[in-house]
Amino acid sequence: MALSLARRGISATVIEKRTGFGELGAGLQITPNSGRVLDGLDLTLPLKRVSVSSHGLMIRRWADGRELLEMPSDPARLPTPFRMLKRNDLHTVLLDAARSMPNIRLVVGRGVQEITQEDDGVSTTLTGQNGQWESFHGLGLIGADGLWSRVRDLNGDTSRPLFTGYEAWRALAPGTKTDKPRVNLHLGPGRHTVHYPVAGGRETNVVVVRQTKEAREGWSRDGDGDVLTDHVAGGSQALRELVASAQGWQAWSLFDRKPAVMAKGRIALLGDAAHPVLPFLAQGASLAIEDAAVLARLLAETLQADGSRGVPAAMAAYAAARSARAARVQDASRSNGRTYHLGWPWSIGRDIALRRLGPDGLRARYGWLYDWRDE
């Protein structure tokens, strides 16, 4: 968001509660809809250094690894590739770009405590690790602070996230040499696994989703690999070997939350703070990047035409432009989760439907998602 504003000549201050960026072992996919935004910020080359371009998707059955659907693609023929990378690599690319912009200020180790909307802007009271308080004032405030958003709470939406009954485990396994790296998806009853190469193919990001009764807040906690060894005991040999080779398992409970009011006055919400997306469509990061592009454009247009008094109108226009799409992506992700985890005999119908759909049908089904442009 800060980059999109700064490239349009608007100064931005980024406030981050943590003192650094990590998330080792967490991978993500940058699909063409959000990739176009990043390319427009002149990030194509640094992203190419840290990502792997996908050659498509392979879907298999959990128990025997039998192929259900293969959707090949040739990244050389795509104007914007499907990129696979580690989250902290994307953080590094964005952070390096932000540090190169003189009109972006980075403030770390501060948490938002209070927000006050005023006629000419928003005042924010922060506290740091040493307990000292400080205040910032700006023309507006954008809350991009995730599922458990403090800004969302302070802006009047105190609805709580709801536990889905699932948790996700992630880790890194050694990379494997292949001429056509791709996303691999294994579907099983009440569970699934997705894995794909990252870090130039040197590592493989592995995510296992399974049912659980216990919910815990937070992004990650250390996980015992032996738990997953038992969990995948009924999976294919290739899947068992992959999970056994992965190290540094982290687990997090999956929560859902209804969409928020995306803007109120001079305060807007972005990404998971506004519309958390379950990880069954690989769109959490992409939807946030889309949000940032639209909001930055609308703010720049409004500030140029009406000055600072137009900020609330720009925020409102952003909410109107994004709410329906965000809700559609949330619903599509929930639907995928239900389909992925079907048990017998319903899984038989799913498998038959996937084979009949075929690669062309699957591409057509998600054209609305991947063909998006900020127009």
Of 217, 234, 256, the last residue of a domain is 256
Q: Is residue 375 part of a domain?
A: no
pLDDT exceeds cutoff 90 at 20: no
> CA distances (Å), 122 to each of 226, 252, 256, in order?
49, 34, 29
Mean pLDDT computed over every residue of the chain: 94
What CATH number is associated with residue 212?
A: 3.30.9.30
The radius of gyration of the chain from alpha carbons, rounded to an integer in Å, stands at: 21
If asked whether residues 172 and 142 sit together in one domain, one would say no
Domain annotation covers residue 52: yes
Q: What is the pLDDT at residue 265?
A: 96
Q: What are the tens digits of pLDDT across the range 264-293?
A: 999 999 999 999 999 999 999 999 999 999
- Residue ending a domain, choose from 256, 287, 313: 256
Residues 126 and 270 in one domain: yes
pLDDT of 21 higher than 80 = no
Residue 62 lies in a domain: no
Residue 288's pLDDT is what? 98
Same domain, 151 and 276: yes
Under 8 Å between Cβ of 38 and 30: yes
Look at residue 128 in the predicted model and tell me its pLDDT.
76
Domain with 183 in it: 162-256
Does residue 34 fall inside a structural domain? yes
Do 150 and 243 have their domain in common? no
Whether residue 105 is found in the same domain as residue 88? yes
Task: Verify that 98 and 235 share a domain, yes or no.
Answer: no
Over residues 64-79, mean pLDDT: 93
Tens digits of residue pLDDT in 318-355: 999 999 999 999 999 999 999 999 999 999 999 999 99
Q: Which CATH number covers residue 53? A: 3.50.50.60
Point out the catalytic residue in the list 166, 196, 318, 340. 196
pTM of the model as a whole: 0.95
Q: What are phi and psi of 36, to 5 degrees?
A: -65, -35
Could you tell me if residue 65 is inside a domain? no
Asked whether residue 24 carries a pLDDT value surpassing 70, the answer given is: no
What pLDDT does 158 receive? 86
290 occurs within a structural domain: yes
Answer yes or no: 196 catalytic: yes
**Where is pLDDT greater, at 302 or 223?**
302
- Kindly state whether residues 147 and 166 are assigned to the same domain: no
Residue 133 has pLDDT above 90, yes or no: no
10/139 same-domain check = yes
Q: Are residues 101 and 200 in the same domain?
A: no
Nearest to 169 by CA among 203, 207, 221: 207
Does the pLDDT value for residue 100 go beyond 90?
yes
Contact 57, 71 (CB under 8 A): yes
pLDDT per position as a tens digit, 41-58: 999 999 999 999 999 999
Q: Is residue 200 part of a domain?
A: yes
- Looking at the fold, whether 276 and 288 belong to one and the same domain comes out as yes
How would DSSP label each residue in 61-90?
Answer: ETTT--EEEEEE--GGG-SSPPEEEEHHHH
Percent share of the chain, pLDDT over 90: 85
* DSSP H or E segment with residue 96: helix 87-99
Whether residue 63 has pLDDT greater than 70: yes
Give the separation between CA 9 and CA 76, rounded to whole angstroms.
34
| Size of the chain, expressed as the number of residues it contains | 375
Residues 253, 271, 132: CA angle, nearest 5 degrees:
85
Instruction: Evaluate whether residue 64 is within a structural domain.
Output: no
Count: domains in the chain: 2
Last residue of a domain, one of 231, 256, 281: 256
Same domain (yes/no): 51, 140? yes
Please answer whether residues 267 and 117 qualify as being in contact, where contact means their C-beta atoms are separated by less than 8 angstroms: yes
pLDDT at 25: 53
- Kindly state whether residues 86 and 231 are assigned to the same domain: no
| Residue 22 confidence (pLDDT) | 54
Helix/strand/coil for 157: coil
Q: What is the pLDDT of residue 23?
A: 56
Cα dist. 336→191, 213, 295 in Å? 12, 21, 28
What are 199-231's pLDDT values in tens digits? 999 999 999 999 998 898 766 788 888 889 999
